[in-house]
């Protein structure tokens, strides 16, 4: 078989001054054509870069004529000689900018229709729907391919790191069974057993615990996960977890393993040194101080509790909240005294969707506090307030009163809103935090029933085990989250390996033996055959890559993503099944028409 004519000696990004006078072959896409002073210049592009081709009519009129036909996105192969550009023509923005290629032969491999948007300039804003419809062109533009390269590199670092620590990469089934993860499963009808369905896994949780029972000792997987939920903008129906589980280790080992792994990822992918160990905070402290379990620590402005100060004041409006089991928390906005009355009103409107029906405020000036609520406080109280809030001249204090959960949610959002407005967020900084001691249970607001906050296999804190029977809502668990810049990056826990404790947890959840058996009977059975103590963690890979790529759009880090309606605009999926397929599955369903345009 002969060598194909389009075979390359170099890619479009690699030629340098040291290659001058070399005979080379290149293939790629026409990025731009410029006709200039009788010469034709073609910027030839591939994944690796761009290189300038020159067609000189004095050298070959035929070639020059051929080159004049070239249009953007045509695929061509050329051979030619590398030459110097001349000092004043050097393009410092291009890695190949010191050279050009004098073309001696040209092969047009594929012509191209005019693309629906510009490929060569990916700074031009194109509607995302159009980009998704022609995703193959969107990827070709450059920034998506760059993100895919970062994703590739991060995965390479992760795998090498975990392999070097004796972790075994094991794939677990995708045609699986519903497991108690809380979200809605995607179902797959069985043809052999009509009316029965597989479920796509929401996570490999059950499998990875079974692998520990199997003695695999250390496991990881780059695991595809699926949730059929109404999608927020940073979610996808299929997403990827770096799923890790280990036996006979403690949470300190997991923290340190993850910290070292992230250090390597950030170093290799971004050449950034992150500092370890990461700080830690209990869930309680976190909620108290930031109103959220995933605080953005790139700036301060903590929530400060003022219950006692308000109680001692004459501020009756807020005192009423305290009497109704509410709380009062405030933030101190550095240099916030510059905000106008209109801006402060804007903050008040900002928190109202979170059910905070107002904010009290004071400005600290050289003359002391000013605002129409100062009158409710004695001088002593104001001093106490000033100290507690660490208020300095020109600061603004914003005070909220309501039920804990409402104050926390509203002030968390407000804190981030103001930080953005004040430009306090250093986008090049990564502030990691371990949040520990999550509550074991929470109350379902609609049913008022207890539910597992993480999952029912999470180990409760040893000292809280007696509370399982008396006051389960007070039970803390050995669950931990890794948070960075306001996002949950990973979450995990120590699992229960003691059958008595497992039973107490099921009792607290009011699960009857029948329910347990139906939901995860085989798993409970498995745990009876000698379960090692084990724990694990799962990273949201897409979130990690978003962080590395500095994008807020999850679709920017996935090759072929879906829309918020879980559809693929390029393939036009989902779609009507082939004729007869549903009959084979013994399924009946009326098709609704999807309008793709």
The one among 73, 259, 481, 556 contacting its own copies by CB under 8 A? 73
The one among 68, 248, 466, 515 contacting its own copies by CB under 8 A? 248
Nearer to its own copies, 227 or 415 (CB): 227
Instruction: State both tokens at 546.
Output: 């978003």
The one among 19, 43, 46, 464 contacting its own copies by CB under 8 A? 46
Buried b (16+ CB within 10 A) or exposed e, 85-114: beeeeeeeebbbbbbbbebeebeeeeeeee
Per CB under 8 A, contacts with its own copies among 444-463 are none
238 binds its own copies (CB under 8 A): yes
75 binds its own copies (CB under 8 A): yes
Dist. CA 356–CA 415, nearest whole Å: 14
Nearer to its own copies, 370 or 499 (CB): 499
Nearer to its own copies, 114 or 366 (CB): 114
Residue 276 CB, shortest distance to its own copies, in Å, is: 17
Nearer to its own copies, 187 or 473 (CB): 187
Angle of CA points 433, 149, 147, to nearest 5°: 65
Helix axes 541-549, 251-270, angle to 10 degrees: 40
Q: Which residues on neighbouring strands pair with residue 398, listed in sequence order?
A: 331, 361
Residue 248 CB, shortest distance to its own copies, in Å, is: 5
State whether the Cα torsion 331-333-336-340 is positive or negative.
Answer: negative
434 binds its own copies (CB under 8 A): no
Per CB under 8 A, contacts with its own copies among 152-181 are 152, 155-156, 159, 163, 168-178
Dist. CA 107–CA 81, nearest whole Å: 16
Count, residues near its own copies per rule CB under 8 A: 124
Residue 357 CB, shortest distance to its own copies, in Å, is: 35
Nearer to its own copies, 286 or 401 (CB): 286
Beta-sheet strand order (sheet of 238-247): 168-169, 218-226, 238-247, 534-540, 487-494, 479-484, 432-436, 280-282
- Residue 548 and residue 150 in contact, taking contact as beta carbons nearer than 8 Å: yes
Instruction: State both tokens at 288.
Output: 């108290």
The one among 50, 106, 139, 483 contacting its own copies by CB under 8 A? 139
Prior bond to 324 cis, omega within 30?
A: no
Per CB under 8 A, contacts with its own copies among 332-351 are none
Q: Which part of the chain contacts its own copies (CB under 8 A), choosing from 302-310, 334-342, 401-409, 555-563?
A: 555-563
Nearer to its own copies, 20 or 216 (CB): 216
Q: Which part of the chain contacts its own copies (CB under 8 A), choosing from 194-202, 298-306, 334-342, 449-457?
A: 194-202
What is the phi/psi pair of residue 106, to 5°? -135, 130
Residue 296 CB, shortest distance to its own copies, in Å, is: 26
Residue 327 CB, shortest distance to its own copies, in Å, is: 30
Residue 470 CB, shortest distance to its own copies, in Å, is: 24
86 binds its own copies (CB under 8 A): no
The one among 186, 350, 376, 487 contacting its own copies by CB under 8 A? 186
Per CB under 8 A, contacts with its own copies among 206-225 are 206-207, 210-211, 213-217, 224
What is the phi/psi pair of residue 96, to 5°? -95, 15
At residue 132, the 3 state secondary structure works out as helix
Task: Say if residue 405 is exposed, middle or buried (CB neighbours under 10 Å; 0-12, 13-18, 19+).
Answer: middle
Per CB under 8 A, contacts with its own copies among 457-516 are 497-498
- HSE, CB side, 13 Å, CA atoms: give it for residue 226: 17
The one among 34, 61, 84, 110 contacting its own copies by CB under 8 A? 110
Residue 66 CB, shortest distance to its own copies, in Å, is: 17
Nearer to its own copies, 172 or 458 (CB): 172
Nearer to its own copies, 12 or 306 (CB): 12
Instruction: State both tokens at 515.
Output: 């329910």
Per CB under 8 A, contacts with its own copies among 570-589 are 570-578, 581, 584-589
74 binds its own copies (CB under 8 A): yes
Per CB under 8 A, contacts with its own copies among 520-539 are 522, 526, 528-533
Q: Which part of the chain contacts its own copies (CB under 8 A), choosing from 324-332, 359-367, 406-414, 568-576?
A: 568-576
Beta-sheet strand order (sheet of 304-305): 304-305, 326-333, 396-403, 360-365, 368-370
Q: Which part of the chain contacts its own copies (CB under 8 A), choosing from 53-61, 241-249, 336-344, 445-453?
A: 241-249
Per CB under 8 A, contacts with its own copies among 249-278 are 249-252
Q: How far is CA 303 from CA 291, 338, 350, 515, in A?
A: 7, 20, 17, 42
Nearer to its own copies, 88 or 193 (CB): 193
Task: Say if residue 513 is exposed, middle or buried (CB neighbours under 10 Å; 0-12, 13-18, 19+).
Answer: exposed
Dist. CA 480–CA 461, nearest whole Å: 12
Per CB under 8 A, contacts with its own copies among 53-72 are none
The one among 70, 101, 120, 199 contacting its own copies by CB under 8 A? 199
- Residue 402 and residue 356 in contact, taking contact as beta carbons nearer than 8 Å: yes
Q: Where are the alpha helices (DSSP H) in 324-403?
A: 341-351, 379-388
Q: Which helix (H) or strand (E) holds 151?
A: helix 143-164
The one among 98, 185, 296, 402 contacting its own copies by CB under 8 A? 185
Distance of alpha carbon 48 from the chain centroid = 27
Nearer to its own copies, 39 or 524 (CB): 524
The one among 54, 103, 237, 476 contacting its own copies by CB under 8 A? 237
Q: How far is CA 149 from CA 29, 31, 153, 268, in A?
A: 19, 21, 6, 12
Q: Which part of the chain contacts its own copies (CB under 8 A), choosing from 345-353, 469-477, 509-517, 560-568?
A: 560-568
Residue 364 CB, shortest distance to its own copies, in Å, is: 41
Output the DSSP codes for 416-440.
HHHHHHTT---TT---EEEEE--BS
The one among 42, 51, 82, 148 contacting its own copies by CB under 8 A? 148
Dist. CA 576–CA 566, nearest whole Å: 15
């Amino acid at each position: 078989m002969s060598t194909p004519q389009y075979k390359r000696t170099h890619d479009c990004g690699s030629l340098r001054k040291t290659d001058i006078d070399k005979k080379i072959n290149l293939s790629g896409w026409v990025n731009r054509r410029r006709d200039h002073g009788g010469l034709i210049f073609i910027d030839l592009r591939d994944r690796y870069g761009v290189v300038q081709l020159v067609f000189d009519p004095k050298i070959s009129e035929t070639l020059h004529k051929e080159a004049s036909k070239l249009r953007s996105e045509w695929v061509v192969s050329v051979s030619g000689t590398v030459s110097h550009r001349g000092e004043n023509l050097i393009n410092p923005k291009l890695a190949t900018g010191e050279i050009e290629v004098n073309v001696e032969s040209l092969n047009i491999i594929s012509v191209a229709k005019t693309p629906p948007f510009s490929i060569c300039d990916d700074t031009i804003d194109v509607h995302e729907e159009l980009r998704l419809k022609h995703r193959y062109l969107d990827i070709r533009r450059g920034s998506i391919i760059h993100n895919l390269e970062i994703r590739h590199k991060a995965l390479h670092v992760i795998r090498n790191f975990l392999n070097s620590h004796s972790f075994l990469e094991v794939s677990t089934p995708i045609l699986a069974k519903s497991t108690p993860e809380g979200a809605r499963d995607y179902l797959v009808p069985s043809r052999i057993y009509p009316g029965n369905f597989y479920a796509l896994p929401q996570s490999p949780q059950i499998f990875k615990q079974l692998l520990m029972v199997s003695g695999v000792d250390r496991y990881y997987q780059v695991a595809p996960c699926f949730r059929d939920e109404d999608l927020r903008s940073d979610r996808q129906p299929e997403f990827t977890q770096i799923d890790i589980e280990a036996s006979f280790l403690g949470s300190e080992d997991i923290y340190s393993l993850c910290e070292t792994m992230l250090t390597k990822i950030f170093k290799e992918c971004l050449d950034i040194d992150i500092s370890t160990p990461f700080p830690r905070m209990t869930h309680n402290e976190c909620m108290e101080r930031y109103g959220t379990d995933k605080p953005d620590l790139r700036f301060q402005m903590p929530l400060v509790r003022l219950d006692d100060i308000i109680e001692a004041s004459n501020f009756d409006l807020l005192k009423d909240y305290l009497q109704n089991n509410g709380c009062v928390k405030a933030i101190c906005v550095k240099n916030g005294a510059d905000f106008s009355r209109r801006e402060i009103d804007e903050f008040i409107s900002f928190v109202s969707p979170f059910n905070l029906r107002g904010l009290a405020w004071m400005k600290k000036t050289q003359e002391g506090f000013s605002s129409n609520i100062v009158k409710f406080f004695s001088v002593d109280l104001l001093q106490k307030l000033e100290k507690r809030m660490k208020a300095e001249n020109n600061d603004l204090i914003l005070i909220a009163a309501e039920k804990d959960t409402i104050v926390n949610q509203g002030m968390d959002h407000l804190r981030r809103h103001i930080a953005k407005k004040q430009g306090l967020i250093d986008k090049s900084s990564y502030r990691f935090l371990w949040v520990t001691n999550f509550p074991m249970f929470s109350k379902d607001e609609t049913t008022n029933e207890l539910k597992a906050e993480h999952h029912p296999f999470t180990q409760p804190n040893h000292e809280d085990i007696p509370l399982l029977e008396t006051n389960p809502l007070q039970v803390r668990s050995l669950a931990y989250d890794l948070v960075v810049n306001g996002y949950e990056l990973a979450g995990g826990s120590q699992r229960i390996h003691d059958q008595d404790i497992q039973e107490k947890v099921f009792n607290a959840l009011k699960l009857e033996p029948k329910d347990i058996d139906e939901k995860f009977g085989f798993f409970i059975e498995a745990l009876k055959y000698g379960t090692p103590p084990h724990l694990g963690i799962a990273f949201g890979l897409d979130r990690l890559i978003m962080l590395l790529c500095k994008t807020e759009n999850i679709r920017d880090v996935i090759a072929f993503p879906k829309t918020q309606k879980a559809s693929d605009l390029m393939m036009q999926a989902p779609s009507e099944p082939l004729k007869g397929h549903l009959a084979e599955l013994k399924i009946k369903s009326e098709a609704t028409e999807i309008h793709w345009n």
